[in-house]
Amino acid sequence: MTSVSLHGAEGRPAEDGRSPDDASRLTALLRVTPVVPVVVIEDASRAVPVARALVAGGLPIVEITLRTSTAIEAIAAVAADVPEAHVGAGTVLSQEQARTAVSAGARFIVSPGLDEGVVSVAGVLSVPVMPGVTTPSEVQRAWNLGLRVLKYFPASLAGGIPMLKALGSVFRDVKFVPTGGISAGNLRDYLEVPSVTACGGSWLTPSGAIAGGDYAGITRLAAEAVAIAGRAEGQPASSANRTGG
């Protein structure tokens, strides 16, 4: 992935505080797995077993959304008890939420939209950030903020695969993580788009499975996603290929 340096001619950091390594750090996280589970936790005690179930299925990355009052507690629990999982915060809407999530242990930030305040705070805290975009104007704005990995949301409603191909043809050094309407049924189609580096989705952790403690079921869904991703890349599916490194 090509990245524009955020340092000036004399090597000074950019004014917004973002490190030139932020984009590469996020890309490295996404190389570990091309599928990002988007998890809604209503009961914080479920967070650790859910994260362990995903790791067992070959998905060592977990985006816990800030849609519930227990989300920050859940992030802290996973960060403390499941170190092999890269836990991040999703649905981050404000600078304060970003600070709180990072303090709890979030290793990356995801937003549904592009907010320069959230991007700036993530940079100051040296945490990779992936804001959501839909239009060419938003992608261009993010590009000029030095971002090269962007969430494409809501994917299925915003043009889906044809739109991603169109955006990718123009913004050739940008990688997208489509989220919203992704499932096991269309995961391979999305991953085969050249500009797509990973997909996000909540189908991996159904609310019923979380509430009912069906962690084995979550592991099966994760393993299925890993297998699909392996076929999309034309490689033998193997959780070892996904979790190594």
Residues with catalytic annotation? 63, 151
Per-residue b or e along 150-159, where b marks 16 or more CB atoms closer than 10 Å to that residue's CB? bbbbbbbebe
DSSP-derived secondary structure for 192-214: TSTTB--EEESTTS-HHHHHTT-
* Residue 137 three-state SS: helix
| Chain centre to alpha carbon of residue 165 | 20
Whole-number Å distance between alpha carbons of 48 and 25:
24
Tokens (6 digits) for 8? 């000036």
Tokens (6 digits) for 13? 């950091």
Q: Are the C-beta atoms of 215 and 49 separated by less than 8 Å?
A: yes
